[in-house]
A = this chain, B = another copy of it.
Amino acid sequence: MTLTTAAILTLPDFLAHWRGHRALTRRVIEAFPEDQLFAFTPAPPMRPFGQMAVELLFVGEMTLTGLSTGRWPEPDWASGPQDKAALLQGWDALTQRLETEFPGVTAEAFTRTHHLPWGEMPGWVAAIYAVDNEIHHRGQGYVYLRALGTEPPAFYER
């Protein structure tokens, strides 16, 4: 496949995309009853949504660090927040980091190869995977919420 050099996406476009999805995921986390977030699963062996959201938080942190610095240290997956308040606090801390650190990400970081714990890939692939993985698990969270009798936030609002 021949790569063209025409720009179809800018850094601010990508930031807006990522930021919008993270805002929606935050509303989904908030929509869960406190006592169900880290406990409920409608379809074992699927994890409770809180555990998925910790993964999303860690992958997000790693992706921002990786795009900014080229280093992708694997997080300690078992070390995450274990209740809703701590999860939202971590979520908001990464939101703040995005605002301050994303301006330091270069376009070149999206086109060169990065070494992730799960393989080598262009920065674009690593970055969009983080967002896609968030959409994927958040979509699962929508089913969890419906199974709990709660109407999820509107998907098209970011």
Partner of A111, one of B8, B17, B144: B8
* Contacts A1-B16, A12-B1, A155-B133; A107 near B6 (Cβ below 8 A): yes
What residues of B have a CB within 8 angstroms of the CB of A93 in the complex?
none
**Residues of A101-158 whose CB lies within 8 A of B:** 106-107, 110-111, 118, 122-124, 128-129, 132-133, 135-140, 142-144, 146-147, 155-156
Grouping DSSP codes into helix (H, G, I), strand (E, B) and loop, the A interface class, with mixed when no group exceeds half, is: helix
What residues of B have a CB within 8 angstroms of the CB of A128 in the complex?
17
A143 to B123, CA, bound (A): 30
Q: What is the 8 Å Cβ interface bit string for chain A, positions 42-75, against chain B (1 contact, 0 not)?
A: 1111100000000000000000000000000000
Tell me the number of copies of this protein.
2
Q: What is the 8 Å Cβ interface bit string for chain A, positions 89-107, against chain B (1 contact, 0 not)?
A: 0000000000000000011
* A3 on the B face (CB < 8 A): yes
* A9 on the B face (CB < 8 A): yes
* A76 on the B face (CB < 8 A): no
Is there contact, CB below 8 Å, between B147 and A43?
yes
- A contact residues vs B (CB 8 Å cutoff): 1-14, 16-17, 21, 42-46, 106-107, 110-111, 118, 122-124, 128-129, 132-133, 135-140, 142-144, 146-147, 155-156
Task: Sample 10 A-B pairs with CB under 8 A, ordered by A number.
Answer: A9-B14, A13-B124, A21-B132, A42-B42, A42-B43, A43-B143, A44-B146, A46-B143, A118-B156, A140-B143
